[in-house]
Chain A
Amino acid sequence: MIEFENEQTNVEQKVDNSANTLLDKEEFKNPENIAFSCRNVDLYYDYGEKHSLKNINIDILKNKVTAFIGPSGCGKSTLLRCFDRMNDLIDGCKVTGDIKYMGQDINEINTIYLRTKVGMVFQQPNPFPMSIRNNICYGPRCQGIKNKDTLNKIVEQSLKDSALYDEVSDRLDASGLSLSGGQQQRLCIARTIAMSPDVILMDEPTSALDPIATLKIEELIKELKKKYTIIIVTHNMQQAARISDYTAFFMLGELVEFNETEEFFAHPRDKRSEDYITGRFG
């Protein structure tokens, strides 16, 4: 442990893990396969006082599930929020470096357009205090879709896609808050799908749920990855191993290692990843 801390103070000066995080593989060479790419991304909170992300270099593949794991406060949720620019809402937060979405700098894309293309599911299930139908219609309505038939189709399709349709089809006008926790979280996913995004960001979507609801959400994620790019932040290593194709391991604001999930758990290249996986800390 002491050894490890020394190591940390040494790398505090300059972090360069790009050798461990940028993969030299066929899929990553074609720019059309890449949904997000980050180069030298640094993020500061509290007007520069807190350095929360240090020199992040990572590529996220399209139509794959990428999991971000790491101990609490390591910056994995922060990086996730960079992708749909939710960090803009926080006072005193500054992002430097390049983040590109489909090859375009995200600062040049209109935020509202970006957020319709990059959906987000939060840690706590947070349906709006309205009916199930209105919860799902909220996003499309904000984009100006008013036709009732179109909206009904969207509601049906997104409920089916989020595996909630059978459970709620007979009470679409009941309050979204009347559902159970797991159903609420799937409603939040349905709400996100209703915008027909390309990417779905999930910020620990199962940490507030019981094991059975978690299982359902995981099955749903496996189903969703056929259509969408999914980035999921999780505390649970087993969950990352179960559902993700690629895994990124974060530690104290730096991206330590990024690899295919199987390889990452079988042969971690960095000692810190190995320690974390084997449960020596964290």
Chain B
Amino acid sequence: MLEELNKDNIVQEDKKFKRKELTDRIVKLIFLFIAIICASFVIFIVIFILEKGIEPFVKNYSLVEGEVVQQNIGLFFTNTRWLYDGNGGMGFLLLTTLYTTLLSLIISIPVSIFTALFIVRMAPKRAKPVIKTCVELLSSIPSVIYGIFGMGVICPIIQMAPVQTFAGNSILSASLVLALMSIPTITMVSINAIEAVDKSMINASIALGASNAQTNLKIVLFSAKSGIFAGIILGVGRALGEATAVQMVIGNNANGLGFYNPLNPGMTLTSAMLSGIGEASGIGYDVRFSLGIVLILVILMITSILNVVKNKMDVIKTKNSTSVIKKIGKFFSSDIAFIRTYFNDKFKKDSK
């Protein structure tokens, strides 16, 4: 009698728990579905830009004089002028973009790392939150404000240089503005990385008779290097992709031979896409999408290369033997199998 009661109990309890597990698994699948939709926007955007960006190479555009033109593929890579009549070349735009980014990083990386180090390790207790908040605020300022600041403050300062400049509009001013914009990003990520350094490691270094400076440079920065590098990757992304502020200060010189001199005006991929987009039509409008392809490819390439470098830098290596796709497959299959068997059992019982 007692045994039977127990059995009944167990069967009932089992049902209850199975239902609980079922809701758990269904909720998990729904969340996964939403996350996948979110992530797949990347793919949608790339497909859209690709589709629009290939058009200028294949479609016929009529110009005012009645000519019919297409974007010339050879000149697209080699020409040193950016034109909207089918002969424009983007090679120098790409070089200018990389050059401007590099210049800005030369300024922003050391400044950000030392700011982060100061905030975490040296700042007096009361000053720390104040400085940190200032840096955080800096990252929330919109890019057009940086552009205006560059036009109003940085360009006039560059103009004071003892050589002829294009009213201060130059690659150097663009680099300075980009540096200002990427400093908060790199600093905030570096702060987190430096704060995560094991305290006992720092104590060990100090107990060994290392000075504070030696500890900071050799242990703290060394241990935090992969985190700091993650910040640099974000900064690179920001500098490569910034359009508005760059367009406002770089001078937009469509004749690209002078990009080697930072005091010359120049044109980056982003500023070429943005400048005069309101009045553009026909091939002059569509060819900007081709620039978009180049920009996306460059950014994807550079960040993935930097990510590989970062993973090699990681102090403690985690081994990932199974591939991501296999893992996602596993993630799905067990849940689907569970749900299927659950309903199969239920239908069988119902039909009986």
Chain A contacts to B: CB under 8 angstroms: 84, 86, 89, 91, 112-113, 115-116, 119-120, 122, 124, 126, 128-130, 138-139, 142-143, 177, 188, 191-192, 195
Please give the distance in Å from A173's CB to the nearest CB on chain B: 15
Q: How many residues of B contact A (CB 8 A)?
A: 20
Query: Which residues of chain A come closer than 8 Å to B57, judged between CB atoms?
Result: none
A115:B316 contact, CB within 8 angstroms: no
A86:B315 contact, CB within 8 angstroms: no
| Chain B, 220-241, CB within 8 A of any chain A CB | 222-223
B218:A138 contact, CB within 8 angstroms: yes
Best-buried of B125, B201, B209, B211 by chain A (most CB within 10 Å): B209
Please give the distance in Å from A82's CB to the nearest CB on chain B: 13
Among residues of A, the one whose C-beta sits closest to the C-beta of B315 is A129
Question: Interface digits, B193-210 against A, CB 8 Å rule (1 contact, 0 not)?
Answer: 000001011011111111
B222:A130 contact, CB within 8 angstroms: yes
Decide yes or no: A138 and B223 within 8 Å by CB, A91-B125, A126-B198 being known contacts: no
Task: Say yes or no: is B23 at the interface (Cβ < 8 Å to chain A).
Answer: no
A192:B200 contact, CB within 8 angstroms: no
A142:B209 contact, CB within 8 angstroms: yes
Query: Which residues of chain A come closer than 8 Å to B207, judged between CB atoms?
Result: 84, 86, 115, 119-120, 122
Please give the distance in Å from B65's CB to the nearest CB on chain A: 67
Please give the distance in Å from A187's CB to the nearest CB on chain B: 11
B200:A124 contact, CB within 8 angstroms: yes
Among residues of B, the one whose C-beta sits closest to the C-beta of A197 is B209
Task: Say yes or no: is B214 at the interface (Cβ < 8 Å to chain A).
Answer: yes
**B208 touches which one: A129, A130, A142 (CB < 8 A)?**
A142
Task: Say yes or no: is B294 at the interface (Cβ < 8 Å to chain A).
Answer: no
Task: Say yes or no: is B148 at the interface (Cβ < 8 Å to chain A).
Answer: no
Query: Which residues of chain A come closer than 8 Å to B125, judged between CB atoms?
Result: 91
B210:A138 contact, CB within 8 angstroms: yes
B222:A129 contact, CB within 8 angstroms: yes
Chain B contacts to A: CB under 8 angstroms: 125, 198, 200-201, 203-211, 214, 218-219, 222-223, 315-316
- Residue contacts A-B, CB under 8 angstroms, 21 given: A86-B203, A89-B203, A112-B209, A112-B210, A113-B209, A115-B206, A115-B207, A116-B208, A116-B209, A120-B204, A124-B200, A128-B201, A128-B222, A129-B316, A138-B208, A139-B209, A142-B208, A142-B210, A143-B209, A191-B208, A195-B209
**A86 to B206 Cα, complex, angstroms:** 8
Among residues of A, the one whose C-beta sits closest to the C-beta of B210 is A142
Query: Which residues of chain B come closer than 8 Å to A113, judged between CB atoms?
Result: 209
Query: Which residues of chain B come closer than 8 Å to A177, judged between CB atoms?
Result: 315-316
**A188 to B223 Cα, complex, angstroms:** 17
Number of A-B residue pairs, CB cutoff 8 Å, is 65
**A115 touches which one: B200, B201, B209 (CB < 8 A)?**
B209
Query: Which residues of chain A come closer than 8 Å to B208, judged between CB atoms?
Result: 115-116, 119, 138-139, 142, 191-192, 195
Query: Which residues of chain B come closer than 8 Å to A143, judged between CB atoms?
Result: 209
Please give the distance in Å from A160's CB to the nearest CB on chain B: 19
**A191 to B207 Cα, complex, angstroms:** 11
By secondary structure, the B interface counts as helix
5 nearest A-B residue pairs (beta carbon): A116-B209, A120-B207, A139-B208, A129-B315, A142-B210
**Known pairs A113-B209, A128-B219. 9 more at Cβ < 8 A?**
A84-B207, A91-B125, A116-B209, A126-B201, A128-B223, A129-B315, A130-B222, A139-B209, A195-B209
Query: Which residues of chain B come closer than 8 Å to A91, judged between CB atoms?
Result: 125
**A119 to B209 Cα, complex, angstroms:** 8
**A124 to B200 Cα, complex, angstroms:** 8
Query: Which residues of chain B come closer than 8 Å to A112, judged between CB atoms?
Result: 209-211
Query: Which residues of chain A come closer than 8 Å to B204, judged between CB atoms?
Result: 120, 122, 126, 128, 188, 191
Among residues of B, the one whose C-beta sits closest to the C-beta of A124 is B200
**A120 to B223 Cα, complex, angstroms:** 21
Query: Which residues of chain A come closer than 8 Å to B205, judged between CB atoms?
Result: 128, 138
Best-buried of A84, A119, A138 by chain B (most CB within 10 Å): A138
Among residues of B, the one whose C-beta sits closest to the C-beta of A117 is B209
Please give the distance in Å from B183's CB to the nearest CB on chain A: 27
Query: Which residues of chain B come closer than 8 Å to A142, judged between CB atoms?
Result: 208-211, 214, 218
Among residues of A, the one whose C-beta sits closest to the C-beta of B317 is A175
**A84 to B203 Cα, complex, angstroms:** 11
**A128 to B201 Cα, complex, angstroms:** 6
Query: Which residues of chain B come closer than 8 Å to A119, judged between CB atoms?
Result: 207-208
Query: Which residues of chain B come closer than 8 Å to A120, judged between CB atoms?
Result: 204, 207
**A113 to B203 Cα, complex, angstroms:** 16
**A192 to B207 Cα, complex, angstroms:** 9
Best-buried of B198, B204, B208, B223 by chain A (most CB within 10 Å): B208
**A142 to B222 Cα, complex, angstroms:** 15
Please give the distance in Å from A91's CB to the nearest CB on chain B: 7
B200:A126 contact, CB within 8 angstroms: yes
**A64 to B52 Cα, complex, angstroms:** 81
Query: Which residues of chain B come closer than 8 Å to A116, judged between CB atoms?
Result: 208-209
Among residues of A, the one whose C-beta sits closest to the C-beta of B214 is A142
Please give the distance in Å from B224's CB to the nearest CB on chain A: 10
Among residues of B, the one whose C-beta sits closest to the C-beta of A114 is B209
Among residues of B, the one whose C-beta sits closest to the C-beta of A130 is B222
**A112 to B200 Cα, complex, angstroms:** 18
Best-buried of B125, B203, B207 by chain A (most CB within 10 Å): B207
Among residues of B, the one whose C-beta sits closest to the C-beta of A123 is B200
**A146 to B214 Cα, complex, angstroms:** 15
Among residues of A, the one whose C-beta sits closest to the C-beta of B197 is A129
